[in-house]
Amino acid sequence: MPHTHAVVWLDFKEAHVFLFDADDVERQRIKAHAPSRKIHQKAGIIGSGHTHDDNAYFKSIVEALSGTTGWLVTGPAATKNELASYVEKHAPQLKKQLIGVEAMDHPTDGELLDHARRFFKAADRMTSL
């Protein structure tokens, strides 16, 4: 069944993807392929303190979003922005459907879905004006 909207909550270890419409929801959990990639910069150490994006992780998330007409990405840190950058480069059609990028700590699945439903209800109302 095609779903109209999606919300992704992610950090560097895993992503929670919800595809939903008014009556139905499909949930997926995607594990990062390199979950230990979080690096902190230390004084006196050569290097930027950054690792390369986990492209396989982001590709799995993009594949999970197939068929949606609008999506929201949330999360506690920079990984949500890295996903948005990946989508801009590798899935430009999906980038056009990205409605928002929001900071969100660690909600329960129910809290995340409730937030997304309210978000899209307001967004849909704005586009119909």
pTM of the model: 0.82
CATH fold of 5-127: Nucleotidyltransferase; domain 5 (3.30.420)
pLDDT tens per residue, range 28-83: 999 998 655 444 445 555 444 444 467 999 999 999 999 899 999 999 989 999 99
CA–CA separation, 73 vs 34, rounded Å?
20
Q: Where are the beta strands (DSSP E) in 11-128?
A: 14-20, 25-31, 70-75, 98-103
112 with 9: CB under 8 angstroms?
A: yes
Tell me the pLDDT band of 129, cut-offs 50, 70 and 90. Answer: low
Residue 2 pLDDT: 64
CA–CA separation, 104 vs 22, rounded Å?
23
pLDDT tens per residue, range 10-25: 999 999 999 998 889 9
